[in-house]
Amino acid sequence: QNNPDSDQKSARFTRQGNDQTRYGYECPEERDYYPYWHPTEWRDIAIFTSRTSRCDHFKYFSQNVRDKWWCIGDELDTGNVEEFETETKCEDGNGQWTKVEDWGLSPPECYPAGWNRDNHLGNGPGGYANSYKWVLPTWSSISSEAIDDTRDGAADNAQIVPCVFRIRYNISSGDFRGGVENGAIDGVGRSYESGGFADRSLNGDSSPVKQDPYIAYGKHPDQQEDMPWPIVLAIDTSQFARTFEERSHMFYIRKLPIGLIGNIFNLLVRGKRGNIVQTYPAVEYDFTPNNLQMELGDYIHFQVTGCDTNPGGNDGEGRQQTDRSNMVQISATPKQTGKIDTSTYGAMGNYPVDFEQTTMWGSSGSQQAKVRTFTMAHINQYDGVQCRSQTETGCCLTLEQLEAKHQGNNNGKQQDPQNCAVLNGMGGNSFDSGLIKMTQIGTFHY
């Protein structure tokens, strides 16, 4: 913390946030420092760093493989002993120095951070977002934490494991080089240049950087009687070595269906409704992964989690504030084929393949292909029920019914909650395709 006074020694204060601000159940100190010295609830998956010389340190001190300790007090915690960070201080403060065993997992993977242009939303070489392929934990490794699945539509006696996935972006300024850093794996202090770290020991008055410091910067050679003239360095210490972004997402892991053979690939949608200015620092809608290579017999699990509370006024189709996505097979574009396909709309190819001719989900014209194409395009709005008249509710209106209802009022048609063509329908803000087995060989565009 910037101010090491006694009333700011809790884990709610950090160097970059000394105002005690918390979001949700986060521990600000744990959020801002990695590896953290006390136990946490997080398992480490992967680390990306521009200094791979530090990978051994990250792996060694990960709670995946290393026990952590902390100071606990009585049931009332009258002594606030959690502030003590060493066994000696804990015992002197009448606390109990307590071990929390490691997770019994492999150390996290550690890779060089992929190159991307600054402030361009993580897009790397080739224009695609940098990514990491994470293989989810096996059911047998997490089944002890399973709970009954009470969600709508869940099968009888089904179980799930609730999970929270966290991504955080810790940035260390390249302007800072030096200072006395903490001990590395061998316990010997090392400088920043040789792989040391700026940790909590450099808070407060020990910080090697100061807020907007004044420095002497010479005097005019004809005015030698002057004192040195000062200038101010525009330094915001909260921007040095900080957690720049942190995002968490909740999801569930289910047990694999009996007899399932083949890999399962999640196919998701990233971004939000709006143009590139409105969505920044997020992005406009995009599938992730952009390119997916699979084997025959593998499975796709297409999932969309949207909302009805997107910022008002953001560009997009359908009702204001809705955040919806679907998926249809399209023809290859000239960029992808190297030639213009004049048989498709606008001679560009970025147009849905005819419903009867789709091949992505099965043989063209087959019942399987048509059922899956319909489901992926219309995402189970109103449970797939179509209205029989324009006055009926709880169903999707046909184009003719929409035209008759709104009499040329295009905005009214766009905002109609029964206009399923623009994904306004009930249930459209989330979609789970279930497991879809790939039975066709080829390259498909969507």
Residue 192 above 60 pLDDT?
A: no
Per-residue b or e along 41-75, where b marks 16 or more CB atoms closer than 10 Å to that residue's CB = ebebbebeeeeeebbebbbebbbbbeebebbebee
Distance CA 223, CA 213 (A): 24
Of residues 25 and 369, more confidence is placed in: 369
Residue 49 above 80 pLDDT?
A: yes
- How does DSSP assign 70-110, residue by residue? EEE--TT-TT-GGG--SHHHHHHTT-EEEEE-----PPPEE
Read off the pLDDT of residues 154-182 as tens digits, 9 standing for 90 and up: 888 899 999 999 998 877 666 555 433 44
Helix (H, G, I), strand (E, B) or coil at 221: coil
Predicted confidence at residue 421, as pLDDT, reads: 96
Read off the pLDDT of residues 215-240 as tens digits, 9 standing for 90 and up: 999 999 999 999 999 999 988 877 76
Predicted confidence at residue 197, as pLDDT, reads: 58
Q: What percentage of the chain has pLDDT greater than the value 70?
A: 82
The answer to pTM > 0.85 is no
Predicted confidence at residue 178, as pLDDT, reads: 44
Read off the pLDDT of residues 328-359 as tens digits, 9 standing for 90 and up: 999 875 555 555 555 544 445 678 889 999 99
How is residue 342 annotated by DSSP?
Answer: T
Predicted confidence at residue 102, as pLDDT, reads: 97
Q: Bridge partners of 188?
A: none
Q: What is the rounded (10 degree) CA torsion for 288, 293, 294, 300?
A: 10
Work out the average pLDDT over 51-57: 86
Cβ neighbours of 369 (radius 10 Å): 22
Q: What is the overall mean pLDDT for the chain? A: 83
Residue 196 above 60 pLDDT?
A: no
Distance CA 430, CA 325 (A): 9
Residue 287 above 80 pLDDT?
A: yes
Read off the pLDDT of residues 367-383 as tens digits, 9 standing for 90 and up: 999 999 999 999 999 99
For residue 1, name the pLDDT band (cuts at 50, 70, 90): very low
Residue 443 above 50 pLDDT?
A: yes
